[in-house]
Structure 1
């Protein structure tokens, strides 16, 4: 997949174009991309148009929101066999454009034969006032092909990025993974913590990652760590370490099974499989150690 900033960068004549935020590249997105691929000929290239940053972050600044950061979305779209990724910088100025102004500025091309594919409920433009009718009119004026993907087929998937975000925030990563078609993950850098895990026999990797990316609810999770092409079983605690502190910031700490490498300053991906239990305060450190031992033994039995 090639990253582009204009359709004019594409030498291929025949293009299939779709547009959306594609946060998470979930099974609904995957369905759309697969459906397009099945409808086009081998000499037609698939172009996915999306925005960075996510429009919601620009129009209503927030943290703890994205299912995936931009670099991960790029990787996921590439895995979905997208040929070109047309990334448009999203700004407040862009948000004030009418649908026709946006289409004319970014999607007009005299050197390509374009087929537009959209979901039945697609909307865009200032205050989302424009929808598929605006694009259909735009396409007819330029002799572009235009197709709205089947409503029934899309609805049957019953999936959206918003629904997945809610599931992750609730800690139901198992159901979120079903809708993603893969395991939800965080990408980040390992930083030094307070060393309490090491003191009690369970050294943890403390992850620092973008505050724009969504964090599962507090609790203990079955997880896996991808580090330098190796996948390792792990247990991850998200929370405030209530046995030791009463007013701490939420941290993401992972005990990696059968792993003794020094990885401070390095990066890895942390995959979440399911929630094991809620975070709790133990009466003693020994009680905490016994519970962690049970958690680790339980993780060993899981694939």
Structure 2
């Protein structure tokens, strides 16, 4: 029987300014999987509600919301492979990610998870950070849905205003995070490096634009090792994220997320993701 896979698009509200890039990587991966002899049905998160389609052989997904992942949970409970696993996607929420990375000794900026509610007497205003400003304030769940989800604040007054804005949007918890000066790097990865040979994984990095680069020297191998250790701690198989390289050539991991757009490397990454999905499909058939 021909394997039948589902691909699930990211929620539109989770792709601000990246709607095309996010959708295109999924479509291109599906094209490569179909070229290998499989059938692929691409779905929006809304398509999952009330769907009575036959169960797929594997699900590959970019969706992130808890309620949407819950619609896929019965399939995963039946043993149908998901890339990324649903728990790994949930682990990218910052309030879960930060403790997991810290427990795995991944170097991250000093971070504190607090309530955004500074007006309720049961939730008093947070104590000013012990580290000097500027600091970052970020929503504690998903990574970025619109302007204001991640802000660099320069003073206690800006912190108060930003907290009030996030609370007014219904975001109950936020992360206060130390600002680390240095060069900002974006990375992409595919595979399970700690359970595979290095040749079985794919990794790329580049400098974020819109920054004044110092081009501090660093070890690319050390960067790859760090990001793969972080992906393993979260449980991700297709991932991307951000890191800072300091003047001393040290790294701080800022974020890691599930299935990015791979925009600058889409043509290169798509066949490698498809290869990984087919490998996972074969593993599932043998289990």
TM range (shorter): under 0.3
* Higher percent of residues as strand: 1
Larger Rg: 1
Larger RCO of the pair (alpha carbons < 8 Å, separation 6+): 2
* Higher percent of residues as helix: 2
TM-score (ref. length: structure 2): 0.28
